[in-house]
Amino acid sequence: MASWDGKCVLITGASSGIGAALAEHLARRGAAVGLTARREDRLRELVERIRHAGGRAEFATADVTDPDQILAACGALEQALGPCDVLIANAGVARPTPGERFTAADANLVLSTNVLGVVNSVAAVLPGMVERRRGHLVAIASIAAMMGLPNSGAYSASKAAVVTLMESLRVDLYRKKVKVTTVCPGFIDTPLLDGYPREVLPTMMSAERAAGIIARAIERGRGKVWFPFRTWALARIARALPFCLYRRVCERLPKHNYQPPGDG
């Protein structure tokens, strides 16, 4: 993509963290940004900030786990800003799902938001892109997709599913002129990491810096991007270890202080 000028970019999970940073970054670069998430006050504030800085932005609330809500939100945003050129399916949650306290409720929340949320968002804009023979689908997965991280089975599985889904779509849509990019970040300093001991997490990056890297990957039409390099390299090494060593490494990793409701 040569320039963001006048491009209509829809971003899910735009009320916080990476999504909000992407919205501000791309609006500064000339894109018209359509923002969606559940928290209306956050979206309204962000839209006002972007407009105040001279950018073009609209918002529509939706829960990504509900296909009708996200379809309606994308429809309203396209009505206001024009046909979607780029979708960034970014909404996601992280919740520990430790093996010894594994609950269907926690795993369902993570899988439905992170996997079905991407599915519902893609399904909302893709028919239009295919018809126009133009468009770019972007999903935010994670380096966690590379392996089953301890206490995060549902999260790792959800991100691996997103990587695989987008890989298939990239092949299917190649001849339809719809591009597909999967973004796999390491640790990014956002509210998603609340409850983790931030000071010991490797190579933490700001959401603003991550937004710049993601924008560049989209501009270059990259199929997949993993960053930061050091976290990716550590994950590659960890993935190659035999189970007995992998388990020992995992046991040393910092733990989330999450307590499920009602856990004394």
Ligand X SMILES: NC(=O)c1ccc[n+]([C@@H]2O[C@H](COP(=O)([O-])OP(=O)(O)OC[C@H]3O[C@@H](n4cnc5c(N)ncnc54)[C@H](OP(=O)(O)O)[C@@H]3O)[C@@H](O)[C@H]2O)c1
Q: Give the footprint of ligand X on this chain (CB under 6 A).
A: 12-19, 37-39, 42, 63-65, 90-94, 113, 140, 142, 185, 187-188, 190-193
How many beta carbons lie within 10 A of that of residue 82, not counting itself? 13
7-37 residues labelled b (16+ CB within 10 A) or e (exposed) = bbbbbbbbbbbbbbbbbbbbbeeebbbbbbb
Q: Which pair of tokens denotes residue 68?
A: 């009708």
- What residues have CB less than 8 Å from 224, skipping those under 6 apart? 163, 167, 181, 182, 183, 184
For the chain, report the end-to-end CA distance as a whole number of angstroms.
53
Query: CA-CA distance, 120 to 134, in Å (whole number)?
Result: 19
Pairing of strands 178-185, 188-189: unpaired
- What residues have CB less than 8 Å from 231, skipping those under 6 apart? 143, 186, 187, 202, 203
Backbone angles phi and psi of 119, in degrees to 5:
-55, -50
Examine the residue annotation and report whether 258 is marked as an active-site residue of this protein: no
Residue 56 β-bridge partners: 32
Closest CA to 162 of 180, 146, 139, 181: 139
With respect to ligand X, which residue has the nearer C-beta, 19 or 150?
Answer: 19
With respect to ligand X, which residue has the nearer C-beta, 62 or 173?
Answer: 62
Active site residues: 155
